[in-house]
Amino acid sequence: MKKQLHVISDGKLSLEVFAEIAGKVAPFADKFHLREKNRTSRELYEGVELLCNEGIPIHKIVINDRVDVAWTCKTGVHLAFHSLPVHVVKTHFLDMPIGCSVHSLEEAEEAAKQGADYVLFGHIFRTDSKKGVPPRGTGSLQALKKAVEIPVLAIGGIKPEKVPEVLEAGADGIAVMSGILQAKDPVEAAKLFSNKLNAEGK
């Protein structure tokens, strides 16, 4: 099964720039997450339009937290600890793909029990976005992967050279922010991640 590469917006770039990069790296990525905590629902809606205008199909777009925008745009939704519970979203939006961020084995088991389609677990390695917070490491990832049957994606400080280690621990894919969005050449970076994921995963 192909290993997934999810590209997550970092809230630093304009939505126009994120969409432009997404359009260029689309051949190598499976999903694009609009993770924009400070934007309005209207701005997120416009962000989806920008992505679509760059040729990103709607099934590749994921909205973080905002179920209303995801439902309106017919995208997937990705839930955080402060979002609506998975089972509530599942009950009211039967066909909506649902991902969930988790930070422990217990949270992953609960998300799976409630009907999440996949979980995002991290942070795996040290990362500037989580300064002072110890990384969870690949050992925790391996234990979590054994405990749940849904796909587990790893996030946090994952550089291309770390991909084999993450796959070794059982990850079904990875999510990347700055490793692609802040790279000198985002297309080359995305291509490298994709090659590493699927060369190692065969």
Q: Catalytic annotation on 123?
A: yes
- Whether the CB-CB separation of 139 and 170 falls below 8 Å is answered with no
| Dihedral (CA of 184, 188, 194, 199) sign | negative
Q: What is the DSSP string of 56-84?
A: --GGGEEEES-HHHHHHHT-EEEE-TTS-
**Choosing from 6, 33, 78, 123, which is the catalytic residue?**
123
Map tokens 């993770």 to a residue. 35
Query: In terms of C-beta density within 10 A (0-12 exposed, 13-18 middle, 19 or more buried), how is residue 138 classed?
Result: buried
Instruction: Residue 200: count other Cβ atoms within 10 Å of its Cβ.
Output: 14
- Phi/psi for 64 (5° steps) reads -80, 130
Question: Coil, strand or helix: which one is 97?
Answer: coil
- Residues paired with 153 in a beta bridge: 120, 173
Residue 40's Cβ-count burial label (10 Å; 0-12, 13-18, 19+) is exposed
Give the catalytic positions in this structure: 123
